[in-house]
Amino acid sequence: MELPASSAAMETEANGPPPSSAVAPSAAPPKPLFQALKPHEMSDGKIQFRKVPVPPNRFAPLKKNWMEIYTPIYEQMKVDIRMNLKAKRVELKTRHDTPDVSHLQKCADFVNAFMLGFDICDALALLRLDDLYVDSFEIKDVKTLRGEHLSRAIGRLSGKGGKTKFAIENSTRTRIVIADTKIHILGSFVNIKVARDSLCSLILGSPAGKVYSKLRAVSARLAEQY
């Protein structure tokens, strides 16, 4: 009900003759001009929060890279960020001059990616690009492996000195984090798919060379698109 009232008020302000008078048909009432809603106005002026839990193994890196996390979030995304040590969380809050609602979400994703294990520079891409995602899955989702088989599968995924993982990363323009039995992939949707396929085939047991050949073909195709 507020709306019609305000519009009516606006109309009375703008137009001299009342709308009821149909004496002057040539003079149409002026269109109303609304200002864009501010973010806090959109959510009724409420402030939104995001809370990102910190796993114990990421405490030290968090502390080390705090300023690199803080600076882009606070300066460029205009989102408040604080570390809650007692609750072992990173908390994010919108300000009144946050330009966009999605910024908060992006910052939250960025921090989350860092918590998963990605590097700051890699996770930064999340802040900059819209269509980057993080996909996670477990080895047991692909194939039930136990004991030594599992260890071997993890070894196969990484390769010697991580070369298989890097090969996949470089050819598909993604970033991969292998955390024990959990695998996280960061990249665009198509690239995530390709990387996931390669990783799954590695888990299922195909040798690295085979995966490489497929990767080569795929990467060539992907490169040709530009």
Residues at the interface with another protein (CB under 8 A): 119-122, 124-125, 127-129, 132, 159, 162-164, 166-167, 169-171, 173-175, 186-187, 212, 215-216, 219-220, 223, 226
If the CB atoms of residues 8 and 217 are measured against another protein, the closer one turns out to be 217
Tell me how far, at minimum, the Cβ of 162 lies from another protein, in Å.
7
Tell me how far, at minimum, the Cβ of 168 lies from another protein, in Å.
9
Q: Which residues does 153 contact at the CB level (< 8 Å), separation at least 6? A: 139, 143, 145, 202, 203, 205
If the CB atoms of residues 94 and 171 are measured against another protein, the closer one turns out to be 171
Task: Return the H-helix or E-strand segment holding 89.
Answer: strand 89-94
d(CA 78, CA 94): 7
Distances (CA, A) of 55 to 87, 107, 150, 154, 222: 11, 18, 23, 21, 36
186 closest CA partner among 104, 129, 107: 129
Tell me how far, at minimum, the Cβ of 108 lies from another protein, in Å.
17
Tell me how far, at minimum, the Cβ of 65 lies from another protein, in Å.
13
Tell me how far, at minimum, the Cβ of 120 lies from another protein, in Å.
8
Q: Which amino acid is at 78?
A: K
If the CB atoms of residues 8 and 129 are measured against another protein, the closer one turns out to be 129
The conformation of residue 50, written as its DSSP 8-state character, comes to E
83 SS3 class? strand
If the CB atoms of residues 50 and 175 are measured against another protein, the closer one turns out to be 175
If the CB atoms of residues 92 and 186 are measured against another protein, the closer one turns out to be 186
Tell me how far, at minimum, the Cβ of 194 lies from another protein, in Å.
13
In sequence order, which ranges of 46-188 are alpha helices (DSSP H)?
59-64, 66-71, 101-116, 120-128, 139-142, 148-158, 163-172
If the CB atoms of residues 96 and 163 are measured against another protein, the closer one turns out to be 163
